[in-house]
Structure 1
Amino acid sequence: MDPVTSEPLLMRLGRHSARHRKGYVLTWAVLVVLGFVTSLGLLGGSSLFDRLETGDIVAPGQAQTARDLVTATDEGALQVVGRVDGADPTDPAVARAAAGLVERLEAVDGVGAVTGPVPAPDGSDSFLVTVEVGSEIGGPVQDEVAEVLREDGAELLAPYDAELSVGGTGLLVDDVVDQIKSDLTRGEGIALPLSLLVMVFVFGGFLAAGLPIVGAIASISGALAILFGFSYLLDLDATVVNIVTVMGLALCIDYGLLLVSRFREELSSTTDVEEAVGAAVATAGRTVLFSALIVGISLSGLMVFEAPIMRAIGAAGVSVVAVALVVALTLVPALCAMGASRLVRRRGAEAAPEEGVFSRLARVVQRAPVLTTVVSVAVLLLLAVPALGLRLTASGVELLPADAEQRVFAEQLEEDYPALASPGVTLVAQADEAQAAGLARQLADVPGVTRVDPPRTLGPLPDDVAAPGSDPDGPGLVSIGLHIEGTAMDDPAREVAETLRDADLGVPTWVSGQTASLQDFTDSVMDRAPWAALWIAGATFLLLFLLTGSVVIPVKALLLNIVSLGASLGILVWAFQDGALGGLLGFDSTGGIESVIPLLVLAFGFGLSMDYEVFLLARVIELHEQGADDDTAVRVGLQRSGRIITSAAAIMVIVFAGFAAGQMLVIKQTGFALAVAVLIDATIVRMVIVPATMTMLGRWNWWAPGWMKRIHARYGVSEHSSPVRAEPAPVSR
């Protein structure tokens, strides 16, 4: 048999990337440039950030039906609002200046109705000018109107020492997108330099430390390009960009760290660069492949849910994991080959010694494995207790920093001009004029409702919108806004929405608004969660079984992940919902956790924790197959993988903490939660509980029924020592 063709595929890939290193690096350089140019619109045209959206988190249900009905029957128009403070609108001179401003606004092409001046209800020296600018957020009409208000308005009102501010829904969305871009830049600006410093410490040199960073930059480019493509297929919420990009960045650094370390270990034993690269990709590359598959499976579980934002994050996340995998298996090995002469160290220096801090930790754990397991799991369960009080929320302007211009504008406008405040709950009904009037009177008596807007006629029931419970031969649609005590996410609004959803009001109705959307999202998640969990757990179990040949190890890994992620959610609730870390992290608690965060923490956190499980198991299995006894395999395996796991975890924590330092609340919560999840998993779970339980179980770690053993013998993946070594590394007995 041809010895080349009998080699493992990954080894051949590694050798090919080393042999054609310049071609791989050049190809990736071109792809990286194209990725940044395309996604950022550097040569003109729209960019990824121009195509982002933001709004309520929706899922199929009453709120989505109501939204579709309103959109189909009444396109509506976005408004840009100019607010003037410090000028009396009853003053004839001020009135003339305001009239001149209205004339200039009416002259802008594409502008709808212009209303103003609208005096403040409290009689203060304040008034508004509102301008309808169509339905396109961030469109040229909106931008021109805002410019006219700021420049011409300031000029006309300058003699009166008035203060002019400009806001509106479209400008609020623009602010959110700008904050996303700012947080992305801030996060990368913190994560990349600090990650480089950690890797310089790990590798003892800038060149080796820089290779994973180069791979991470390629991953960022690929992530942005993929998201840009997805923006033409899916509605992408602005927060998706940071969430997905940070995952690609963290994974690529993680995988690059593992491959570069293994390459240097192989290079210390041979002078053949191609052989060293091939061996590194065949061993560490296989670990990376398994890790990427498990992370991809975890994220694909998000696509089971009906909410478009979860499907978008799932689809984009899987794609970005694929980019990180391809970068790790092609670009990083090619870079290793190019820098081989400067990466080599004295013989054996890269391989971790069999005795060290991690093996000593393992010995301590192995002396009392049962006690260690019980105490450690008890600590995690205690940390998870706050998660029992988890309260989901769907913030609006609260996502922005408290001093953000558009958040301040929106909050002050709602306080000073209550008639312009958006209703906390909106009811869409199929009713004639008399029925609508009676319905409005009936709604005014619902506990918690402070004011009911007059019914607004929308039009006939559209044929192209599925509206369960509607009467095709009935009257047209009306919309009634209900104003509630407190904010849309406070208990009164939730209770009103729940009451209306369950009530029989005599006509077909659909409840809409932030509260109703959150309820639909929660119901949808609870309905699909068992299927998502079954898919993720089943596929992960299968992959770990193929890697280990054991039933016990995959089951134990799944159970430990549940406990570990529960602890992470508990700390998240304590920090953000209870506001315990508000001062330290710079945020005002909204009294809940953003609705998408628990799912993201569970999906991303599960994948990352399995990432370290594979890192450790790969070394333990390698030693086990070399003939080491169970305790020795665990102890030496932890020693050999401990430095990489710790370094990778430190870098992950840095990356996620960098994004937790951002200003957007949802990004801050995501970064914090994932940093905590990685920290818990890489310390308490991977360094303490796993070696304790493996020691406690002994040979039962590798148990499986006979029929499953036969399946593994035929289809499983065996761990082998490096093919470039004449003999396996010695193992202490």
Structure 2
Amino acid sequence: MLSALARAATRRPRTVILTWLALIVLGFGLGTGVFGRLSDSVPDVPGAESDRTAELLDDIDPRGESLSAVVEAPRVADPALRTRVEQAVTDLRRVPGVTAVPDPYATEGLASGDGRALIVPVTLKGGLDDDAEDATVDAVADRVKEIDGADVHVSGGPLLGRQLGERAQEDVQRAELISLPIVLGLLLLIFGGLRAAGLPLLVAVSGVAGAFLALFAFSQVTEISVYVIQVTTMLGLGLAVDYALLMVMRFREERRTSADVTDAVHRTVERAGRTILFSGLTVAVSLSGLLVFPSPFLRSMGLAVAAVVVVDMLAALTLLPALLTRFGARIAPSKPRAPGAEGRVFARLARFAGRRPIAVTTVSVLALLTLALPVSNLRIDIGDARQLPASTEARQLYDTVNAHYPAGVGVDPVVVVARPGTDPAFEARVKALDGVASSETQTLDDGTRVLRVTPAGSIDGATATQLVEQVRELRGDNPVTVAGVAARLVDFRQMLADRAPWAALTVLAGILALLFAFTGSLLIPLRTVLTTLLSLGAALGVVVLVFQDGHAASWLGGEGLGALSLTAPPLIVAIAFGLAMDYELFILARMREAWRATGDAQEAVVAGLRRSGRVVSCAALLLAVVFGAFMTGGFAPILEIGLGLTLAVVIDATIVRMLLVPATMTLMGKRAWWAPRALRRVHERFGVRDEEAPTEDTEDMVTPRQ
């Protein structure tokens, strides 16, 4: 297959290049339409009690979503300001699609005790279609903003999703403006020429365009979260640079021994292309675990990111060979070096680890386990507006309410829906529960009673989630269900606990199978998974220490929130696991070549690290730059994901790949490449085979060519 791709790219390079240019135009044209279709709904679990209850309320409750506006002034009771606010309230009640706007001066609790703020809640009608809802939201926001003589902030409901989408687009643009020039500068240093440096960047741009196009396509059939944009863009950009870096470096190496550009391209695709193909597959398999979860957010994230990985892989295997065919003659071959000079530093690291394998393994494992210790205290929640940068409208509204109102104002209630037939005393028992700050009851036309209980503390803190669990235990046989933000969090946590083992089994089975197909070894895949889990634990532990516990969070533009966003841990684990497999395959490919050529297990480790160390280190540096650029936006979940992935890449490319891998490979020796006879036959039939097969086989080991 790789040979066929190479032939197609070299035979018709102009056609291939024009096709990808059309994709880039389409991606940055049509694909960017996804920014207007983003959703801020993350913790929904279809079929869960909170989801069923929300759907029931949509059907029987005439009220829809609501917006909130906060008017802040030195004295909100000022007659002139009061006249302007009351006129705005009158106008808002006439807006089509608005069902209720209370008078903030006459309604208890809407005016702050210090007389400096007013809350104006606006309730929309239920059942509005998207266009009608958008028109209503625009009209409400525009009219509230017209109030003169005060600072006005408006957010909530469908407006919050739009604000987050706009913020996501701004963050992506900022990250690209920061990262692309730095990446280009680093590539110039790595390659020493603009032509060679520009090729990975062009593939990266193709990857980002493909990411937007894939996301736009998925948005037609499923919800796309605001978090997906940054994650897929950073991964698409980073992986494209990784793959292009490997291909261009290998091409320059092949050019040393081949004067014919086309022949050098063929050899590059056949050798480095195999690594890229398996790398793309392993990253996609790592993300397939997200498909096990019923959450639309996690499933759409898994599908979108996997699609981006495939786009990057295809760009590296088709666009890049076509570009090398057209312009490769102008790219200088890598300079020949004296024997032993190439990759000298990495060879020394490999020999150091090989001389002291037990000590290096012990110290590395203990260091990684120490960094991973905070994971034992990991907490996840949905979070409130503190996750947003201070410049966002929703955060400004939150800060204003927090400054002028007592704790608990603005906290979403736990919604208890009691259908007809419920014990009349049940409502009183709920109100008497610990942690209930206030409550209100609504009776619907069919006799259903909706009790909205405001918990003490935050929107999804321990008090709120305990209140949900207490109500569910208290109801007994009564036809009572619970909804609200806290209930969605409880159901999301339970979904993670139920499905995480199956997701892990799915990923591990796929990864082990792919690594066996690539190496022909049974032990190397097991060693790879164990060392990768150590680096993942270390990275996640530091994220917990920073953003949950608050240590040094301010240095990164964040703050300690007492928990991580529920989006961060599963995405960090899934994506970082795939990236770790990326670097593992880069190194194993070279180790395998050396092993099959020499039969010396220790020298194969040294040669593998010598030949791959530079590309792994450069790729990790470039990825760290890309991920770091996305941490400039200040959105807490993206900060957490960005830091987690940056640390995972750096730890994996240094401690794990440069020290732990050569040390453990030395401890295993020749048995690292061992496989039972039955599995060896399977590998000979279905696994990766070199152009020249080995001449001799022992009973249980893939033996190198002599």
Calculate the TM-score normalised by the size of structure 2. Answer: 0.92
Within the alignment, does 1:77 sit opposite 2:68 as a pair?
Answer: no
> Is the contact between residue 304 and residue 528 of structure 1 (CA under 8 Å) also seen in structure 2?
yes
Q: Which among 616, 621, 629 is matched to residue 645 of structure 1?
A: 616
Runs of 5+ consecutive residues of structure 1 not aligned to the other structure: 1-8, 41-46, 155-160, 461-475, 723-730
**2:336 paired residue number:** 348
Matched residues in 2 for 1:530 and 1:85: separation? 49
Q: Which among 410, 420, 425 is matched to residue 414 of structure 2?
A: 425
Matched residues in 2 for 1:604 and 1:171: separation? 30
Secondary structure of 2:416's aligned partner: strand
Larger deviation, residues 70-79 vs 327-336:
70-79
Distance 1:92 1:305, change over 3 A: closer
Q: Which among 27, 45, 51 is matched to residue 37 of structure 2?
A: 51
**1:412 paired residue number:** 400
Q: Which among 26, 32, 37 is matched to residue 34 of structure 1?
A: 26
> Is the contact between residue 153 and residue 394 of structure 2 (CA under 8 Å) also seen in structure 1?
no
Alignment of 1:357-506 (within 5 A): 357-413=345-401, 416=404, 421-431=410-420, 435=423, 438-453=425-440, 455-458=441-444, 460=446, 476-505=447-476
Q: How many angstroms does 1:72 deviate by?
A: 2.3
**1:179 paired residue number:** 167
Larger deviation, residues 413-422 vs 528-537:
413-422
Distance 1:718 1:173, change over 3 A: same
What is the RMSD of the two structures over their aligned residues, measured on CA atoms?
2.6
Distance 1:705 1:142, change over 3 A: same
Percentage of matched positions with identical amino acids: 36
Matched residues in 1 for 2:104 and 2:588: separation? 70
Distance 1:147 1:637, change over 3 A: same
Matched residues in 1 for 2:81 and 2:175: separation? 46
Secondary structure of 1:556's aligned partner: helix
Q: How many angstroms does 1:126 deviate by?
A: 4.7
Q: How many angstroms does 1:117 deviate by?
A: 4.5
**2:698 paired residue number:** none
* Structure 2 letter corresponding to 1:33: V
1:162-184 CA distances to partner (integer Å, 9 max, x unpaired)?
A: 44444443333322222211211
**2:55 paired residue number:** 68
Q: How many angstroms does 1:278 deviate by?
A: 0.9
Q: Which among 9, 16, 24 is matched to residue 16 of structure 2?
A: 24
Matched residues in 2 for 1:125 and 1:259: separation? 62
> Is the contact between residue 343 and residue 611 of structure 2 (CA under 8 Å) also seen in structure 1?
no
Distance 1:94 1:539, change over 3 A: closer
**1:465 paired residue number:** none
> Is the contact between residue 226 and residue 319 of structure 1 (CA under 8 Å) also seen in structure 2?
yes
* Structure 2 letter corresponding to 1:276: A
Q: How many angstroms does 1:657 deviate by?
A: 1.1
1:27-76 CA distances to partner (integer Å, 9 max, x unpaired)?
A: 11111101111122xxxxxx211111113512242222222221222252
Q: How many angstroms does 1:280 deviate by?
A: 0.5
1:572-623 CA distances to partner (integer Å, 9 max, x unpaired)?
A: 1111111112121011211011112111111111111111111000001111
Runs of 5+ consecutive residues of structure 2 not aligned to the other structure: 694-703
Larger deviation, residues 123-132 vs 508-517:
123-132
Secondary structure of 2:231's aligned partner: helix
Q: How many angstroms does 1:106 deviate by?
A: 4.5
Matched residues in 2 for 1:121 and 1:347: separation? 72
Q: How many angstroms does 1:352 deviate by?
A: 8.9
Matched residues in 2 for 1:355 and 1:130: separation? 65
**2:519 paired residue number:** 548
Alignment of 1:480-629 (within 5 A): 480-505=451-476, 507-629=478-600
Q: How many angstroms does 1:402 deviate by?
A: 3.5
Q: Which among 279, 291, 296 is matched to residue 291 of structure 1?
A: 279
Matched residues in 1 for 2:385 and 2:95: separation? 28
Secondary structure of 1:384's aligned partner: helix
Alignment of 1:319-330 (within 5 A): 319-330=307-318
Matched residues in 1 for 2:135 and 2:280: separation? 43
**2:302 paired residue number:** 314
**2:139 paired residue number:** 144
1:380-399 CA distances to partner (integer Å, 9 max, x unpaired)?
A: 11111111111111113222
* Structure 2 letter corresponding to 1:14: A
**1:124 paired residue number:** 115
* Structure 1 letter corresponding to 2:145: R
* Structure 2 letter corresponding to 1:30: A
* Structure 2 letter corresponding to 1:48: V
Matched residues in 1 for 2:559 and 2:334: separation? 53
**1:197 paired residue number:** 185
Matched residues in 2 for 1:145 and 1:714: separation? 66
Distance 1:15 1:391, change over 3 A: same
> Is the contact between residue 380 and residue 563 of structure 2 (CA under 8 Å) also seen in structure 1?
yes
Secondary structure of 2:52's aligned partner: helix
> Is the contact between residue 11 and residue 278 of structure 1 (CA under 8 Å) also seen in structure 2?
yes
Matched residues in 2 for 1:699 and 1:89: separation? 79
* Structure 2 letter corresponding to 1:270: S
* Structure 1 letter corresponding to 2:23: L
> Is the contact between residue 116 and residue 404 of structure 2 (CA under 8 Å) also seen in structure 1?
no
Q: How many angstroms does 1:439 deviate by?
A: 3.0
Distance 1:703 1:64, change over 3 A: same
Q: How many angstroms does 1:551 deviate by?
A: 0.5
Distance 1:456 1:287, change over 3 A: same
> Is the contact between residue 288 and residue 325 of structure 1 (CA under 8 Å) also seen in structure 2?
yes
* Structure 1 letter corresponding to 2:31: S
Q: How many angstroms does 1:333 deviate by?
A: 1.2
Matched residues in 1 for 2:185 and 2:352: separation? 31
Secondary structure of 2:105's aligned partner: strand
Aligned residues: 685
Matched residues in 1 for 2:339 and 2:19: separation? 32
Calculate the TM-score normalised by the size of structure 1. Answer: 0.88
> Is the contact between residue 98 and residue 122 of structure 2 (CA under 8 Å) also seen in structure 1?
yes
Within the alignment, does 1:14 sit opposite 2:6 as a pair?
Answer: yes
Matched residues in 1 for 2:554 and 2:112: separation? 36
* Structure 2 letter corresponding to 1:457: T
* Structure 2 letter corresponding to 1:592: A
**2:697 paired residue number:** none
Secondary structure of 2:137's aligned partner: helix
**2:701 paired residue number:** none
* Structure 2 letter corresponding to 1:413: V
Q: How many angstroms does 1:571 deviate by?
A: 1.1
Secondary structure of 1:344's aligned partner: coil
> Is the contact between residue 362 and residue 638 of structure 1 (CA under 8 Å) also seen in structure 2?
yes
Distance 1:93 1:265, change over 3 A: closer
Distance 1:670 1:74, change over 3 A: same
Distance 1:478 1:349, change over 3 A: farther
Distance 1:54 1:669, change over 3 A: same
Distance 1:125 1:186, change over 3 A: closer
**2:219 paired residue number:** 231
Matched residues in 2 for 1:163 and 1:398: separation? 20
Secondary structure of 1:591's aligned partner: coil
1:683-712 CA distances to partner (integer Å, 9 max, x unpaired)?
A: 111110111111111111011111111111
Matched residues in 2 for 1:56 and 1:440: separation? 30
Matched residues in 2 for 1:364 and 1:480: separation? 67
**1:469 paired residue number:** none
Matched residues in 1 for 2:13 and 2:242: separation? 21
**2:636 paired residue number:** 665
1:246-266 CA distances to partner (integer Å, 9 max, x unpaired)?
A: 111111111011111111111
> Is the contact between residue 108 and residue 145 of structure 1 (CA under 8 Å) also seen in structure 2?
yes
Matched residues in 1 for 2:640 and 2:383: separation? 13
